[in-house]
Amino acid sequence: AIIMTIIKPFSATLSKGSMHLLYTISAIFIADIITTNAVQISDPIGHFRRHIIAPRTNTQEEMNNQFRGLDYELAERYTNMTKIIFLSFWYAAIYPGGLFMASLALFINYYTDSFSIMNTWKQAP
């Protein structure tokens, strides 16, 4: 957020066109809503391990290890939420719609994380 504010000239803050700051901010929110959640739900690494690597293992123990799921860090999830909140608060004065987009992103992240905790990630110790 700070870098976007620094590299964009002040005259581009409210100008029209695809290079203005508001367009860039909304693109960041949309990418944060769609891209990260789509990759997390699709779980390409888990599918690769379960469908490609697991059938080619030599022992049952190695195969069971391929089906365990991915490790996750709770700190990473908190960092993602903090990033969304910080971005929305940083640009709240010039882009109040970002607060609604942030609430949508947090709502979707909550259900994506709960799905991943129950279905695709490794069980916590």
- 57-92: pLDDT as tens digits: 999 999 999 998 888 888 999 999 999 999 999 989
Task: Select from 83, 69, 81 the least CA-distant residue to 117.
Answer: 69
**Site of tokens 């279905």:** 119
Evaluate if residue 23 carries a pLDDT over 90: no
Please compute, for residue 21, the number of CA atoms within 13 A of its CA located in the half-sphere on the CB side.
23
Question: For the whole model, what pTM was predicted?
Answer: 0.80
